[in-house]
Amino acid sequence: MKLSDLLSGLAENARGFETRVRKWQEEMEAKGDGLMASARRWQENAKTRQEDLNKQIQGYLDDASENVRAQWGQMQEGWDEQVAKTRAKAEELRSKAESMQAEDYADWSEAYAATMVSYAQQMQDEASTAVAAAAEARAKAEALKKSD
């Protein structure tokens, strides 16, 4: 499997995620408690999906050059650091918000969820750009192989 296939898969997953989030937001207003249980199940399954994705990425890296692996490692470290900082900040904000009255906390939680969805959409846009760049690079590499 090629890196471009991985990136295409990531972009497709991001589009699917965006669709699910949109549907989730609509259902949130209608279903409340049932939707919260669904969100918790989704969150529990997210770890499994992430582990599967990590295995897939590792498969690509196993076939990649040392230069690609080194650059990927540097990028991954930076991303992991940013995710950790975002989670820590979110937990800090959430703990402060929990002292609010129930209605205010609900409003805060909805605003936070909307912000995270917006952030995910920005990351989806970045993934789409990466998929396009990978496809272009793969096409150039194939053209160079044919011309040699």
In angstroms, the CA 140 to CA 54 distance is 27
> What local confidence, expressed as pLDDT, does residue 88 receive?
92
> What local confidence, expressed as pLDDT, does residue 3 receive?
66
Q: For residue range 60-93, what is the model confidence (pLDDT) as tens digits?
A: 778 778 888 888 888 889 989 998 998 899 889 8
H-helix or E-strand spanning residue 65: none
In angstroms, the CA 110 to CA 130 distance is 30
Domain coordinates in residue numbering, the chain: 3-147
Number of residues that this document lists for the chain: 148
Is there a contact between 72 and 58 (Cβ–Cβ < 8 Å)? no
In angstroms, the CA 90 to CA 135 distance is 35
